[in-house]
Amino acid sequence: MNFKEHFNLPDDLIYLNTPGNGLLPKETLAWRQKWEQDFFEIKSNLRDEQPEFIYSVKETVADFFHSKPENTYLTPNFSFAFATLLDLLPEQLTYLVLEDEYPSLQYPLVNRKLKFFSIPVSAKLEETILNGIEQHKPDVLVLSLVQYISGLMIDLDFIKNLKKSHPNLLIIADGTQYLGVAPFDFQESGIDALAGSGYKWLLSGFGNGFILLSDQLKLMLEDLKSDVPLPQVAMWKNKKILDTFFEPGHQDTLSHGTLQSSLRFLKKQGLQNIQDHIKVLSDEAYKLLLERDLILPYIAERNIRSSLINVQIPQELYPNLMNMGIKCFPRGTGIRIGIHLYNDLKDIHNFVNIIESLR
């Protein structure tokens, strides 16, 4: 499938920086341009229809991830959603987290002085998590579905089964480096809270994010706040208690509308088609990079792999790569790349040839 035509990609550039920020589809740009113009028009009703519009975005997000609109909250980004959730949970809970997680996942536990245990990341991640749960008996497991430096991806079936075997363990996941590359059914996932920012694999620019809650967690949070009186003022009469935390003020219609437009775009392309396309490219990339011993050993050992790859070449090569039109980023012990729908096999081969010529 040719997804490339939906993006404005020049021939002399290979875009591999989706783990940093993803590209906007042309039709999302067209939507933004029209929206801005209509918003500017004095006679337009767009500005007055802000609440209805934001609700329609929520419906799109819920539909995209198989969540319920009433369990879906729109936020400016992942970090706001996660920090707000932490503040809603009882202070005495204990957390299990992975070492080297994205700072917005780790640090809010530190600055709130919450009790947490960190476990090392290895090829046997799922086993390590089980051992960590056995040893520390945490109330909450917090993790990114795909790690932002190494690209290590958790086995999603493991999460599903973990929830079945540990129904009282709350599972909070960050989907920022994963959602957008494959179909995803939140209600079947075993995850209690899934949050993400839209500007990477969801192709939606900055300023939009979301959090989806399971029925179990939503009820628990509502219960914790059951003694708080609901707002009485007319303007907030429709707000539920959790809305007052996750969606306390007006949302940006341009940012969230961008998310809606790009989710519609992704759905139209077919998430299964996107997943199949990415798999062909990722398989080729892993094959070529493994042959050259450029994959982190603990990633090489795993069968489950993401399309975020930390290529083990010296970071000093980064300026050369940029000069040669490769958009990527130095992270950890190498150069991080991401393979998304707008890439093709030619990109992978050109990238490998270029690093070969530089080494």
Ligand X SMILES: Cc1ncc(COP(=O)(O)O)c(C=O)c1O
In the complex with ligand X, the residue whose CB is nearer, 190 or 198, is 198
DSSP three-state, residue 118: strand
State which residue, 284 or 329, has the beta carbon closest to ligand X.
329
Nearer to ligand X, 138 or 198 (CB): 198
Q: Which is nearer to ligand X, 143 or 295 (CB)?
A: 143
Beta carbon nearer to ligand X, 84 or 253: 84
Q: Provide, rounded to whole angstroms, the least separation between the CB of residue 104 and ligand X.
A: 5
Element (H, E) at 330: strand 329-331
**Closer residue to ligand X in complex, CB, 299/352:** 299
Return all residues near 82 (Cβ < 8 A) that are at least 6 apart: 104, 105, 108, 172, 174, 195, 211
Cβ 225 to ligand X, closest distance in Å? Answer: 24
Please name the residue ranges forming H helices in the chain: 26-40, 50-65, 78-88, 103-111, 125-136, 156-165, 186-189, 215-224, 243-246, 253-269, 271-291, 297-300, 318-323, 345-358
CB of 34 to ligand X, least distance (A): 26
Q: Return the DSSP state at 93.
A: -
**Residue 132 or residue 205: which is nearer to ligand X going by CB?**
205
Q: Which candidate, 32, 12, 16, places its Cα nearest to that of 342?
A: 16
Minimum distance from CB of 160 to ligand X (Å)?
20
Output 21 or 253, the one with its CB closest to ligand X: 21
Q: Residue 228, class by beta-carbon neighbours within 10 Å (0-12 exposed, 13-18 middle, 19+ buried)?
A: exposed
Site residues for ligand X per CB under 6 A: 77-79, 102, 104, 144, 148, 174, 176-177, 197
How much of the chain is in helix, strand and coil states, percent to nearest 5?
Answer: 45, 15, 40
Please provide residue 48's backbone torsions phi and psi, each rounded to the nearest 5 degrees: -75, -20
Q: How far apart are CB 328 and ligand X at their closest, in Å?
A: 14
Using the minimum distance from each CB to ligand X, give the nearer residue, 17 or 177.
177
Closest CB 133 distance from ligand X, rounded Å: 21
The Cα–Cα gap between 143 and 84 comes to 16
- Return the structure tokens found at 317: 């090569």
Q: How far apart are CA 130 and CA 316, in angstroms?
A: 38
Least distance (Å) from ligand X to the CB of residue 142? 11
Cβ at position 300, least distance to ligand X in Å: 21
Report d(CA 106, CA 108) in Å as an integer. 6
In one letter, which amino acid is 276? D
Residue 131: which residues within 8 A CB-CB, separation 6 or more? Answer: 119
Q: Which two tokens stand for residue 15?
A: 């875009």
